[in-house]
Structure 1
Amino acid sequence: MKVKIELFGAARDFSEQNLLEFDLDQKSTVKDIRKKIIQYLDEKFNGNENYKKIVNSSAFCTEKNNIVSDNYKITNNEKIGIIPPIGGG
């Protein structure tokens, strides 16, 4: 199934389109999306550790702006957002 990942904050550096698209197995979860993004970062950015930290510390949300856990089951053609932690001073 196809899933689109909207990139917010520091995660926008992952793609020029502010969006990633992956094919996932049916019954995939947000945890599977984290793994898929890290695989993508390993290939595209030579395993950039800072980018991986962003993925591992980010929250994910649905199109309705609901924060979801790693156990959230993804549906076909669903759009999920990755929301990195915000730092400021």
Structure 2
Amino acid sequence: MEIQNVLVSPSTTQDVIDQLSLTGKKVSYTLAIPKKDTHKWVNTKVKFYGETWQTVGYPIEGIEELIPLDWNKKVMVERYG
């Protein structure tokens, strides 16, 4: 299933260090998920840039009404396979 309006950005150095320390997984990208999205983002495989990725941890979610833009969740991914 394709999800529209997902932003993809490289994970920050601090995010990479934190996730490596906490989970032993090396995250590469952070996805910004649109408001109102109801998909499952825990231990989920996603595809972009012609590669398959696995989500790491739980999405971080902000209070939708307090965030002015279109996204209120972020989830980190590591390369799968």
Fold shared, TM-score > 0.5 on shorter chain: no
Q: Which is richer in strand?
A: 2
Structure with the bigger RCO (C-alpha within 8 Å, sep 6+) is: 1
> Which has the larger helix fraction?
1
TM range (shorter): 0.3 to 0.5
